[in-house]
């Protein structure tokens, strides 16, 4: 190795050392950005907030520039019917008094309810509704205080409220199940385990909920004037 080469190598080492030392000096552990466009793309990004990097808001000029926006507070999606009972003991009691299953009962509803129960509920509440689900039997979940037994002490509204918000150790299922599915489950639990006798309704099920949505859409639709030919 000749001297000249060593000399160059040591200069390079010094430069590298300086860079690596200064690189860590910035507050919050953030290094100065080399070619910031590579980190904060100038193109439109839907979900990226370029003012934020790993939880640090370094450059407020870029903050909150993402294109996906929070909806204005109080807005609801089209066709969505808000649930008017609060997640409180009073809301639970009120829902229990006022809410009635809007879905007519028939074989299809029963079958759908059974299927949903098998997907979302059976691992806790068990095949017989006695709280003997596999999670409980394998000691992965504490015993379930609710047993779906014969007798209909638990009202439909309370059940719907619980599936919507959850109760005690049971979590909310409103993100997985729409209202129609929740009411089908209520039907299923009441007929299969609580032995409710329901008159079969051979008309189309789901009437009320769907009708509610349709009337809203119709009311909102602009009036188109008909022109005679």
In the complex with ligand HEC, the residue whose CB is nearer, 9 or 119, is 119
Minimum CB distance to ligand HEC, residue 26 (Å): 46
> Could you tell me the smallest distance in angstroms from the CB atom of residue 144 to ligand HEC?
5
Residues found near ligand HEC in the complex (CB under 6 A): 120-121, 123-125, 141, 144-146, 154, 158-159, 162-163, 167-170, 173, 185
Give the nearer residue to ligand HEC in terms of CB position, either 50 or 160.
160
Taking the complex as a whole, how short is the minimal distance between the CB of residue 154 and ligand HEC, in angstroms? 6
Q: Which residue has the tokens 């379930």?
A: 144
Nearer to ligand HEC, 154 or 213 (CB): 154
Q: Which is nearer to ligand HEC, 114 or 167 (CB)?
A: 167
Q: In whole angstroms, how close is the CB of 75 to ligand HEC at the nearest point?
A: 27
């Amino acid at each position: 190795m000749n001297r000249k080469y060593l000399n160059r190598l040591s200069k390079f080492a010094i430069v590298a050392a300086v860079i690596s030392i200064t690189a860590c000096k910035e507050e919050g552990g953030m290094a100065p950005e080399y070619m910031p466009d590579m980190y904060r793309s100038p193109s439109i990004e839907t979900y990226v907030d370029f003012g934020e990097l790993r939880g640090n808001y370094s450059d407020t000029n870029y903050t909150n520039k993402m294109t996906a926006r929070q909806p204005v507070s109080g807005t609801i999606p089209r066709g969505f019917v808000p649930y008017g009972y609060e997640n409180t003991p009073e809301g639970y009691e009120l829902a229990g008094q006022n809410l009635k299953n809007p879905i007519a009962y028939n074989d299809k509803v029963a079958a759908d309810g059974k299927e949903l129960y098998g997907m979302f509920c059976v691992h806790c509440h068990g095949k017989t509704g006695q709280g003997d689900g596999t999670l409980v039997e394998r000691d992965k979940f504490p015993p379930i205080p609710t047993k779906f037994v014969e007798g209909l002490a638990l009202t439909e509204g309370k059940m719907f409220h619980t599936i919507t918000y959850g109760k005690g150790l049971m979590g909310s299922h409103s993100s997985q199940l729409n209202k129609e599915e929740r009411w089908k489950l209520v039907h299923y639990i009441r007929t299969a385990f609580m032995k409710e006798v329901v008159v079969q309704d051979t008309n189309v099920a789901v009437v009320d909920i769907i009708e509610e949505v349709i009337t809203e859409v119709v009311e909102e639709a602009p009036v188109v004037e008909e022109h005679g030919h």
